[in-house]
């Protein structure tokens, strides 16, 4: 459970810092257009902090971490999120400073989203296995 709390707390800190970084970088360069940098903050807070805070009571209720799938989910999901936001940050900075971007950057961000999806699939498989079967006649 502490692992989930620490992950949520870390994503909260990095998410707030990324929002500050976005605001200051765009002010520094007088940038007013759209950039991937603007949604890094949201990805970190929603997919990082909030998701882990939602998993926390599910862990308490269903002891998800007793399954080997939990560790797979945790590390795959977080690797996917880290890859996604890192590449989004790089792409966003390139956009703000006016540097050329390559299609590879978008492709790698897509890979990050795929890894995130695999992590979510592992989470739901684990959750489904840990939820006790409904007893006959129970509501």
Residue 106 pLDDT grade (very low, low, confident, very high; cuts 50, 70, 90): confident
Element (H, E) at 42: helix 37-43
Q: How far apart are CA 26 and CA 15, in angstroms?
A: 17
- Nearest CA to 120 out of 84, 89, 87, 92 is that of 84
Q: How far apart are CA 43 and CA 47, in angstroms?
A: 5
- For the chain, state the CA radius of gyration: 18
- Nearest CA to 78 out of 122, 133, 116 is that of 116
Report if pTM > 0.75: yes
pLDDT digits (tens, 9 = 90+) for 10-39: 999 999 999 999 999 999 999 999 999 999
């Amino acid at each position: 459970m502490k692992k989930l709390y620490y992950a949520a707390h870390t994503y909260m800190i990095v998410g707030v810092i990324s929002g500050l970084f976005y605001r200051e970088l765009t002010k520094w360069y007088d940038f007013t257009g759209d950039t991937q940098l603007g949604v890094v903050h949201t990805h970190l807070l929603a997919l990082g902090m909030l998701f882990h805070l939602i998993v926390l009571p599910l862990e308490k209720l269903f002891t998800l971490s007793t399954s080997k799938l939990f560790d797979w989910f945790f590390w795959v999901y977080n690797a996917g999120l880290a890859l996604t936001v890192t590449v989004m940050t790089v792409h966003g900075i390139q956009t703000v400073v006016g540097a050329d971007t390559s299609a590879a950057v978008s492709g790698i961000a897509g890979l990050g989203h795929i890894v995130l999806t695999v992590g979510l699939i592992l989470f739901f498989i684990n959750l489904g296995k840990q939820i006790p079967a409904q007893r006959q006649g129970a509501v």
